[in-house]
């Protein structure tokens, strides 16, 4: 048992030299370990190493967001939606759009796609720094749903959480930073095709998203 104990001790030392752990966190780990010290020193050491490993994994999971260049970067995948399988897509976004000006019936160059469905032209966009919901006929191109929604600024250099939910029982819902942004009753929307993050299915109807997604 002695050689295994030495091995684990060396592993802990190596981990502590590679992982930045603040004093408060380290003290908490030591207190938890010491509670078991009078029972089983070996178990105490294992517990300490276990918490260090988990903390190290959490620390090293940072900076994993996807960066989109606003030119040709996007993610595409089949929609998981079906009548008996509700759909929810959620993400964190950090807009770095440089588009300025109004989004209107004669100007689509300030519309950057965040989420798009190929079967119905529906999606969520960054419209001159504001979160907007669109569907055919593409709003803000002739449909009042978009213009009637209060603007949700996303060009403030902060991360924002966006969730898109669809089910026959609750209809279509969009949440922005944990609060309801839009609710529509269930209809015969087609979500069976492909889904894109960061770009629309087609050309001439806006731009790709520029920023980060997680």
Q: What is the per-residue pLDDT for 87? A: 80
Structural domains in the chain? 2-59 (no CATH), 66-213 (2.60.120.200)
Instruction: Classify the C-alpha dihedral 78-80-81-83 as positive or negative.
Output: positive
pLDDT of residue 111: 79
Q: Judge whether residue 82 has pLDDT over 60.
A: yes
Predicted structure pTM score:
0.66
Nearest to 200 by CA among 138, 147, 143: 138
């Amino acid at each position: 048992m002695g050689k295994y104990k030495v091995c684990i001790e060396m592993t802990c030392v190596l981990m502590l030299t590679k992982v930045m752990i603040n004093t408060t966190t380290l003290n908490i780990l030591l207190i938890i370990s010491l509670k078991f010290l009078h029972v089983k020193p070996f178990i105490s050491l294992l517990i300490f190493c276990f918490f260090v490993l988990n903390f190290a994994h959490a620390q090293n999971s940072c900076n994993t967001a996807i960066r989109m260049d606003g030119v040709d970067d996007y993610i595409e995948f089949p929609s998981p939606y079906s009548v008996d399988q509700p759909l929810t897509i959620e993400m964190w976004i950090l807009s770095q759009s440089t588009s300025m000006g109004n989004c209107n019936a004669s100007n689509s160059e300030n519309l950057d796609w965040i989420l798009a469905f190929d079967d119905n032209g529906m999606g969520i966009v960054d419209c001159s720094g504001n979160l907007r919901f669109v569907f055919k006929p593409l709003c803000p191109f002739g449909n009042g749903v978009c213009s009637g929604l209060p603007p949700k600024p996303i060009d403030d250099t902060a991360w924002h959480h966006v969730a898109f939910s669809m089910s026959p029982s609750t209809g279509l819902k969009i949440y922005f930073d944990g609060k309801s942004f839009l609710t529509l009753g269930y209809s015969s929307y087609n979500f069976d095709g492909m889904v894109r993050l960061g770009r629309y299915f087609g050309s001439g109807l806006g731009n790709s998203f520029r920023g980060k997604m997680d």
